[in-house]
Structure 1
Amino acid sequence: MSNSGYYTRRSAVRLLDKVMEDGRLLNDLIQSGGLSKLEPADRARAQRLALDTLRNLERADRVLQKHMKKTPDLHVHNVLRLATVELCLGGAAHGVVNDAVNIVAKNKRTAGMKGLVNAVLRKVDEKGQAEWDKLRVPRLPKWLRKPLAQAYGADTMLDIEAAHFAGAPLDLTVKEDAEGIAEAVGGVVLPNGSVRIADAGQVTALAGFKQGQWWVQDAAASMAARVLNAQPGETVLDLCAAPGGKTMQVAAAGATVTAVDDSASRMERLRENLKRVQLNATVVVGDVMAQEGQYDAILLDAPCSATGTIRRHPDLPFAKDGSEFGDLIGLQEVFLDHAIGLLKPGGRLVFCTCSLLPDEGEVQVEEAAERWADVTVDRDAVLIDGVDPAWITEEGGLRLRPDYWADKGGMDGFYVAMLRKGQ
C-alpha cells in the first residue's frame, strides 16, 4: 500500500488511543483537527477504520487473545486491534501487517514490540477469518449493559446490540417532496416521512444538498419536532439547539424560532445550515438558565448520556464509564423546570433526550408532572406518523429504540414527551 495507507492507519490508531485512554469522543477529536493533516479521502478512511475497530472491538480482542500470552501496552493493543479488524474483514495482509509493524517500530516507547506485532498478525491472517465468523455480536461494556438490560430485558438487549453492530444508514429530513428527494438520492421514505439512504457516500455530493432541500437528521431525532407540531406564527424556543436539525424543522413549519445553545462553534454550524437550507431563526449563544420571556411552545433536547446514538457512535461506550450520568440527570431536571417556567399559559413543551436510560426520559417526565400541578403529559401528541402505539410508555412519552424498524435499518434510541401547561 502507498505511504498514505501508513499515515491513515497511524491516524486511526491515534484516535483509538485518545478515545480509550483520554475518554475523548471521536466527533470532538475530528472537529478539533485530529485528522487535519490527511487528505480528505484519507481522512474519511481513517475515521472509518477507527469506527470499524470500535464496533468490532470485542471480536478483535477475542481473536487476539488466542495468539498472545498477555495484553500489551494500550497503544500496541490498539494497533493490533485495528489490524485484526482489517484482516478479518478481508484486508490485504501485506499492507495491513507492514503498516502495523511500522507504526509500532517508529514509536520509541513501543519499538521493541514490533516482532510481537508481526508474529501475532501473521497468525491472525492465517486463522483469524475462520475464528471471526464464529464470534457473537459484540456486547456493550458491563457499566452500560447492566442498567439497559434491567430496563428492557435480556432478549431486547441482544436486539439492541445487534442494531448497534449493524451501524446506521443516513437519514434526511426534507423541506418538501420526500418522494422526489428519495428518488433523486436513491433512498426510501420512512413511515415518519424521513428519507433513508443505505449507502450515501459523500453527503455534500448528494442531489439537493447545495439547493438546501434537506438536512441530515436521524429519523428518531426528527420525531421530537414532529410531536411539537409548530404552527405558522407561533413563538418557539429551541433549547440546547445545536447542531440545529430541530430548529430547521420548526422554522420550516413557519414558526418564529429562537435557538439557544452554549457552544459557539456548534451554533456557527447551525448558522451555516440555516443559510444553506434558506430558513430563518434567531440564534443565541448562551446559557439555557439565562433565557427569559414567554413562548407558545418550547423544545428542550436536554444534555444527556447520548446512549441512544451508539449505532452511529460506537466510541461512546469506550470513552465513557457512566460516572457523569448523575450530574446530567440533575441538569436535565433543572433545565426542564426552567423551560416549563418560560411557557405561556396553555403552552406546550417537548422534552427529549437521545438516551436509552429511563432516568433520562420516562422518570424525568413522570417527576416533572408531579412537581408541577398545572402540567400534564399529552400522550396523544406523540402518536404521530410512523409511531407504533406500543412505543408509548406508561407516563405518556414515546420510547424509541435502536431495534425498532430493524428491517429498515433501525433508529437511534430516543425519548420524546409532550407536556402541556394549564391556562
Structure 2
Amino acid sequence: MNETRDLPGLKLRLEAAFHLKSVLEGKPFAPIAPDRLAASRDRALANRMATTALRRHGQIDAVFKQVLAKGVPQRAGILEAVLRIGVAQLLWLDDIPAHSAIHLAVESARADKRAGRFDKLVNGVLRSVQRQAEPFKALNGDALIPGWLASQWTGAYGADAVARFVELLVQSPPLDLTLKSPDPDLVAALGGQPVLGPTVRVAERDAAVADLAGFAQGRWWVQDVSAALPARLLDAAPGEKILDLCAAPGGKTAQLASAGAQVTALDISADRMERVRANLDRLGLDAQIVVADALDYAPGPVFDAVLLDAPCSATGTFRRHPEVLLHRNAQGIAERVAPQRRMLAHAASLLKPGGRLVYCVCSLEADEGEEQLGWVLANLPELEALEITAGELDGWHAPLTPQGAVRLTPALDLPNGVGGGLDGFFIARFVKKAP
C-alpha cells in the first residue's frame, strides 16, 4: 500500500476494499477484526460497505456494463473492490455525501500501488454513476441471483419464493439469539421478539453483540432460528451420550449441553473448536472437544444420538453470507453429495441400537437434502425415518414435507408474524433399528 495522507474515513474504506477483494477471489466473508479497525463504529461501516457490494453484486455488474466499455481492468490490485464499494455507496448507502464518497474512492485507489494508476478512471466512472443514480437504482433485481440458481430455485420453490429471496438478499438480516433458559425480562432488555422455541429475534440494535444484555453473563448465543431446530429435534435427554459431528461454530453443541447431555463435539478445524470452547466457557457449559476428521473418528456404536450438520454448499445462508452466490456452481454442489453420504453411513455406525440420528444441511439444494433422505432409506437398512411432527415445532406446519422431514426456505412465514426471513435448511431424522 502506498503512503497516503490521513483522510478521515479513508482507512476504513481501504479495509473494506481489501476485505472485499479477498471475497471476490474466492475466500469466505468474515467480519473485519478489531486489530484491523479498533473503533466498533468504523468496523460496522466497513463491513456494511463490503456486504452491500456483495448483496448488490449482480446489479453492480449491470452498472459496470454501462459505464465501463472495456470492463474492469484486470491485475489492478484493489481497483475492482474500490469501484464496487464506490457504486454501492452512491446508490444504496447514505453514510456520506456523494462528492465525499467519490473523493475517498479515488484516494483509496491511489493508496494501492497497482490500482493507483487508475485514479482518473475511478473518478470518471463514479461521477457517471452519480449522474445516473436514479435509473441505476431501478435496475432489475433479477440479476442479484445467478441465473442457474434462480432457475433451480424457481423449479423447486416457485417464482414467488425466489422473488422473496431477492428481497431478503438486499436486506441486512436481523440477529437471532438462542436463550439458555426462558427469561421474559431478558427478551425485553434485548428489545427482542420471541420467534420459535428458545429463539429471540433482535431486529434493530445499536450496540455490538458483546455489549448486548446477557452476553457477558452467558445467557444466550447467536444462532439463526433455522440452525436451532436440528438440535431441538434430536430431543436430548439429561445424561445421554450425544455426538455433535461437524460441530463448529458450536450453537448446536451449546443446545445439547444445556439440555444436560454428555456431548462430544467434533470438528476438523482446531481454530474453530477453540472458539467453540471459548463460547462454552462463557455460557458455563461443558462438552468433550475432539479435533479430527469425522470419518476417522471411530469409537464404535457408543452414542445414544448423533447430530450430523454435514458440510454443504450453504446456499441457504445467502442472507448472512451473500458471497455463496458468487462462489457456488452446479459441479461443486454435486461433488458434496458423496462425502455427505459417507458421513451419514459413518454416523449410523456410531449409534447404539435404538439411537437417533439427525441429518441437516444449510442448503436449498435437493441433492443435499431431500435426495439424501431417499438415499439413506434405500442404502442404509439399519436406519429408518423418524417422522418430525408439527407439535415438535410449536404447531408450525409450513416446513413439514410429505416424507416427515423439514424443509426451511428464507421465504417461509415464521410463526408469530415475525419478519426478516430465516436460513434455508433441510432436516431429516432417523432411528437405528435393533439388530
Place the TM-score, normalised by the shorter chain, in its bin: over 0.9
The residue aligned with 1:299 is: 307
Larger mean CA deviation between 358-367 and 156-165 belongs to 156-165
Superposed displacement of residue 249, structure 1: 0.4
Map 1:340-419 → 2, pairs under 5 A: 340-381=348-389, 383-386=391-394, 388-405=396-413, 408-419=419-430
3-state SS of paired residue (1:404): coil
3-state SS of paired residue (2:141): coil
Query: Gaps spanning 5+ residues in structure 1: where?
Result: none
CA contact (8 A) 1:192 1:387 kept: no
Which of residues 206, 210, 215 in structure 1 aligns to 2:216? 210
Which of residues 153, 157, 162 in structure 2 aligns to 1:152? 157
Alignment pair present for 1:272 and 2:278: yes
The residue aligned with 2:36 is: 37
Map 1:48-197 → 2, pairs under 5 A: 48-73=48-73, 75-89=78-92, 90=94, 91-129=96-134, 131-133=136-138, 135-136=140-141, 138-197=143-202
The residue aligned with 2:14 is: 10
Instruction: Give RMSD over aligned pairs.
Output: 2.2
Question: Is the alpha carbon distance of 1:73 and 1:16 closer, same or farther for their aligned partners in structure 2, counting shifts above 3 Å?
Answer: farther
Superposed displacement of residue 383, structure 1: 4.7
Map 1:202-241 → 2, pairs under 5 A: 202-241=208-247
CA contact (8 A) 1:172 1:218 kept: yes
Superimposed CA distance per residue, residues 398-423 of structure 1 (whole angstroms, 9 cap, x where no aligned partner): 00011113752110001111101112
Superposed displacement of residue 178, structure 1: 4.2
Superposed displacement of residue 348, structure 1: 0.6
3-state SS of paired residue (1:389): coil
Superposed displacement of residue 146, structure 1: 3.1
Alignment pair present for 1:422 and 2:433: yes
The residue aligned with 1:257 is: 263
CA contact (8 A) 1:19 1:318 kept: no
Structure 1 CA distance, aligned partners of 2:8 and 2:347? 50
Structure 2 CA distance, aligned partners of 1:19 and 1:180? 40
Map 1:274-289 → 2, pairs under 5 A: 274-289=280-295
Question: Is the alpha carbon distance of 1:387 and 1:316 closer, same or farther for their aligned partners in structure 2, counting shifts above 3 Å?
Answer: farther
Structure 1 CA distance, aligned partners of 2:242 and 2:186? 28
TM-score normalised by L of structure 2: 0.90
Superposed displacement of residue 387, structure 1: 5.8
Which of 1 and 2 has higher RCO (CA within 8 Å, sep 6+)?
1
CA contact (8 A) 1:239 1:300 kept: yes
2:115 maps to a residue whose letter is T
CA contact (8 A) 1:63 1:128 kept: no
Structure 1 CA distance, aligned partners of 2:231 and 2:143? 33
Structure 2 CA distance, aligned partners of 1:106 and 1:175? 47
The residue aligned with 2:325 is: 317
Structure 2 CA distance, aligned partners of 1:17 and 1:38? 17
Superposed displacement of residue 68, structure 1: 3.0
Superposed displacement of residue 56, structure 1: 1.4
Structure 1 CA distance, aligned partners of 2:362 and 2:183? 24
The residue aligned with 1:26 is: 29
Superposed displacement of residue 285, structure 1: 0.8
CA contact (8 A) 2:317 2:424 kept: yes
Superposed displacement of residue 317, structure 1: 1.5
Superposed displacement of residue 81, structure 1: 1.7
Larger mean CA deviation between 7-16 and 250-259 belongs to 7-16
3-state SS of paired residue (1:26): coil
Query: Gaps spanning 5+ residues in structure 2: where?
Result: none
Question: Is the alpha carbon distance of 1:386 and 1:169 closer, same or farther for their aligned partners in structure 2, counting shifts above 3 Å?
Answer: farther
Larger mean CA deviation between 267-276 and 59-68 belongs to 59-68
The residue aligned with 1:47 is: 47
